[in-house]
Structure 1
Amino acid sequence: MVRKLEGPTTNVTDLELSIAKNPNLQKVYAITVVTPMFGGGYLAGQIDTERLVRTGTVRGQLRFWWRATRGAAYENVYELRKREAEIFGDTSRPSCIKIWIEPTSTESTSKIHFPKYALYSAGKEVDAAKKSSVEHTIGHTFKLHIIYKQPFDDITKSMDLEEIERKEIEPALWAWINFGGVGARTRRGCGSLFCDGISPTIDNCTPEHFLSWFDKHIEKYELKLLQADQSRDWPTLSNQIKTRSRIEEIKDAWHEAIEAYRLFRRRANQEKGKPRPGRSHWPEADSIRTITGMAHPKHNKKYPASKPEKLISFPKAQLGLPIIFEFKQQMDEDKELSYEERRKRRHWEKEPYKTQLVPKGKDRLASPVILKPLSCTPHKSLGIIAILNQPRLEGAELKQNDRIVKQLGTKEIYPNVSYDNNPMQDNKKVYTSAVEAFLNSKEVEKFCESTNLKRY
């Protein structure tokens, strides 16, 4: 016999009803969405206004953050998946936790607009998502119900449910609430969450106390964090975290984090008297020109001039893939030329065609950089930049029209080169890690101490 609990959207058995009567085996968490969601519905890039947060989505998030927290203690994927199956189930055994979502409010309480760069390259769904998300998701509250049920197979029937809650689920829940979110683009702060009792208090959210609060939870949950130069075959939480110098309104902290990242990734020559930046200080554009043999006459010399000749380097691959490179095909100077003069140019005297950089053998690689407002109330937060330890990227492919034009290895992805205005170096050292270069950049320094936004 199956009966339906009042409120939840999922059917549960009589056994689970009896388990639910034991308060030690059932937990309920009231959670608030504090930044607009992007996606999360049954259509890519769109929200479902009737059911903003889905049970399956939350279960997937808890599994991800379980791997990111508890997972570092396992040496290989086999050991990880064995333990994960014991907790969350697989095709051969049921899960020992049952979760469901009970929506309690769908009315938006405020308007916070997406920072432009948070949805950069997110696709054609962006415009529609911006309007519907801002109208429906901020301030949406829901209850997460978790029932811990005793497994009945020979392998896991002796598992202590309270230990599972304390050591396995609570760390994943803590990390998800504070460093993750709901929907897509959560690593860019979309769909960020607040939960009283799991989110830090205002006192713990100050720059002076935040890292202590973080370390206490790592100790409480007995988590093993890897060093910056270590990784597993899956992303894991690290203690590489940068914070703002003060608690702010959620929208301000969010915009500051995104702006620091945008400015770092878009470092370019700023010519006097011109509103738009000029040629990039990053090596990718000139590398593509070298590989394809194509360049506008204005760009047929490397920039900056101190850059090594015919350098092929793609360090931004470490920050997430794919990356799409679209070159400006008509320069301002070309407007003064006649049609015949422009037509006479050889194909190699034009800028390269649209080019895409993808991880070898895959379609995408999620960024290890988390940029978000970590909320201490539904309206106040501490802006953070946090890093996930991810496996080293062993290869990438440069494509034009789905055709591979260049295979890239670690030498090109983790370059060790020096030249003027190189974003991968500062006055102290040359970095081979783009993540490390970002954490030590002038943009992150400003993020921590003052502001990157032109608003004060």
Structure 2
Amino acid sequence: MAKAAPQLDTAALMQDVQRAMDDSAAVWQRYTCRLLTPMYGGGVEPGVVDRLMPIRATAIRGQLRAWWRLLNRRRTEYCREGKPDSALLFAAEREIWGGLGDEKTLAASKVVVRVEKMPQDLRLSPKDGTALGRMILSEAGTEVEWLSRRGPVEFVLALRIDAGGESILQALRMWASFGGLGARTRRGLGAVEVSDAQGDVLQATKDDWEAAGGTVGGMRDCFFDDYQSAVQAGVQKLIDFRQDAGLARGLGSGSRPGGSFWPEANAVRHLMRRARDKNRNVLDRAHPPPLLFPRALFGLPIVFQFKPDEKQGDPAPCALE
């Protein structure tokens, strides 16, 4: 005679889980994270704020892994004949961070990331006309929302580091200083302030960013009352560098902007074999214009729109992927 399966005591199970977590508290390091600028996206679906799980542990773990890779690629133990060796770096990365494979090569991560005290009562804001708002690229007329910075948006980041030690904390400091959550982090969105158990804010050190082969620049003699004002000013500098009349493009006439001084527009015209009369010279196959897309360094995709010039022979809207 078959026996009935015992009832699962969920309350007791939760107590056991909590007891195990408390017993292992010494191996967990906890950090308080506060959102400093609006966050765009962050969920499984790109560009969409997940109301149930706006902050994903897997996303943070991926960010830390990317920073670890950047910081360690020049270490002597991962070099051959004085040059970085990708095979050595990959083997070390897999040993710490894990990776997929068959039953013989499958490796579990030795860095465990957990998000605690997930923010609730989310208030989303529509895209606005600020510098940060204009840096969110979306199709014309598309309504986008971001997780507003209005009000405290905080969570606790718990880390269990079983390998890698200081190199993982170095990646954490770099992420806290220069990274963020969601999309468009290089443009100032999703910036976070990370504090340790003593309340000290984590900041990248000179050794940290020199390990990545980088230098830190800044706007001289600029002081701001808060983080978001500083990011707004920095993003506005980027907008001006890319599009400002007299700097990145001609002065134009009236409300119509002048032609761009950047090479992308003429490169598109040449590649698509379409150009209005005043730009017909770029179609010359014997003397093509520079086929360069330098603004790709600021992020992709780039949407090119020649309106209203497409009626005069310029290319239709297209995107650089």
Q: TM-score range by the shorter chain?
A: 0.7 to 0.9
* CA distances 1:7-37 after superposition (whole Å, capped 9, x unpaired): xxxx7995x764x243xx3211011011111
Structure 1 residue 181, shift from structure 2 partner? 0.6
Is 1:140 the counterpart of 2:140? The answer is no
State the secondary structure of the residue aligned to 1:275: coil
- What is the distance in 1 between the residues matched to 2:298 and 2:89? 25
**Closer/same/farther in 2, CA of residues 13 and 88 from structure 1, 3 Å limit:** farther
Match of 1:354 in 2: 317
State the secondary structure of the residue aligned to 1:72: coil
Contact 2:51–2:122 (CA<8 Å) still a contact in 1?
no
Percentage identity across aligned positions? 25
Is 1:127 the counterpart of 2:130? The answer is no
Code of the residue aligned with 1:145 in structure 2: it is A
- What is the distance in 2 between the residues matched to 1:291 and 1:127? 32
**Closer/same/farther in 2, CA of residues 125 and 293 from structure 1, 3 Å limit:** closer
Contact 1:27–1:147 (CA<8 Å) still a contact in 2?
yes
Aligned residues: 282
- What is the distance in 2 between the residues matched to 1:301 and 1:97? 57
- Out of 205, 210, 214, the position equivalent to 1:214 is 205
**Closer/same/farther in 2, CA of residues 199 and 108 from structure 1, 3 Å limit:** farther
- What is the distance in 2 between the residues matched to 1:145 and 1:29? 6
Code of the residue aligned with 1:117 in structure 2: it is R
- Out of 48, 51, 54, the position equivalent to 2:50 is 48
Is 1:198 the counterpart of 2:201? The answer is yes
State the secondary structure of the residue aligned to 2:172: helix
Structure 1 residue 4, shift from structure 2 partner? 4.8
* CA distances 1:385-434 after superposition (whole Å, capped 9, x unpaired): xxxxxxxxxxxxxxxxxxxxxxxxxxxxxxxxxxxxxxxxxxxxxxxxxx
State the secondary structure of the residue aligned to 2:112: strand
Is 1:97 the counterpart of 2:111? The answer is yes
* CA distances 1:368-389 after superposition (whole Å, capped 9, x unpaired): xxxxxxxxxxxxxxxxxxxxxx
- Out of 211, 221, 244, the position equivalent to 1:224 is 211
State the secondary structure of the residue aligned to 2:261: coil
**Closer/same/farther in 2, CA of residues 90 and 255 from structure 1, 3 Å limit:** same
Structure 1 residue 170, shift from structure 2 partner? 0.6
Match of 2:60 in 1: 58
Structure 1 residue 86, shift from structure 2 partner? 1.8
Match of 2:291 in 1: 313
Match of 2:173 in 1: 174
Structure 1 alignment gaps of length 5 or more: 150-160, 201-212, 227-237, 303-308, 335-348, 359-456
State the secondary structure of the residue aligned to 1:66: helix
**Structure richer in strand, relative to its length:** 1
State the secondary structure of the residue aligned to 2:319: strand
- Out of 215, 224, 241, the position equivalent to 2:217 is 241
Structure 2 alignment gaps of length 5 or more: 1-11, 79-83, 101-105
Structure 1 residue 172, shift from structure 2 partner? 0.9
Structure 1 residue 319, shift from structure 2 partner? 3.4
Deviates more, 1:238-247 or 1:56-65: 238-247
Match of 1:85 in 2: 94
- What is the distance in 1 between the residues matched to 2:275 and 2:184? 34
* CA distances 1:187-235 after superposition (whole Å, capped 9, x unpaired): 11111101232345xxxxxxxxxxxx731x539xxx6333xxxxxxxxx
Structure 2-normalised TM-score?
A: 0.74
Structure 1 residue 76, shift from structure 2 partner? 2.4
- What is the distance in 2 between the residues matched to 1:320 and 1:88? 27
State the secondary structure of the residue aligned to 1:144: strand
Is 1:116 the counterpart of 2:133? The answer is yes
- What is the distance in 1 between the residues matched to 2:97 and 2:52? 27
* CA distances 1:335-367 after superposition (whole Å, capped 9, x unpaired): xxxxxxxxxxxxxx6112233333xxxxxxxxx
* CA distances 1:49-84 after superposition (whole Å, capped 9, x unpaired): 222211111111111111122233232222122111
- What is the distance in 2 between the residues matched to 1:187 and 1:287? 26
Code of the residue aligned with 1:172 in structure 2: it is A
Contact 2:124–2:145 (CA<8 Å) still a contact in 1?
no
**Closer/same/farther in 2, CA of residues 42 and 322 from structure 1, 3 Å limit:** closer
- What is the distance in 2 between the residues matched to 1:354 and 1:110? 31
**Closer/same/farther in 2, CA of residues 66 and 225 from structure 1, 3 Å limit:** closer
- What is the distance in 2 between the residues matched to 1:27 and 1:269? 54
Structure 1 residue 39, shift from structure 2 partner? 0.7
- What is the distance in 2 between the residues matched to 1:147 and 1:256? 37
Structure 1 residue 41, shift from structure 2 partner? 1.3
- What is the distance in 2 between the residues matched to 1:125 and 1:328? 16
State the secondary structure of the residue aligned to 1:43: coil
Code of the residue aligned with 1:171 in structure 2: it is Q
- Out of 276, 291, 297, the position equivalent to 1:296 is 276
Code of the residue aligned with 1:269 in structure 2: it is G
- What is the distance in 2 between the residues matched to 1:82 and 1:179? 26
- What is the distance in 2 between the residues matched to 1:351 and 1:124? 20
State the secondary structure of the residue aligned to 1:182: coil
**Closer/same/farther in 2, CA of residues 279 and 124 from structure 1, 3 Å limit:** closer
State the secondary structure of the residue aligned to 1:278: coil
Match of 1:255 in 2: 232
**Closer/same/farther in 2, CA of residues 98 and 320 from structure 1, 3 Å limit:** closer
- Out of 39, 45, 63, the position equivalent to 2:41 is 39
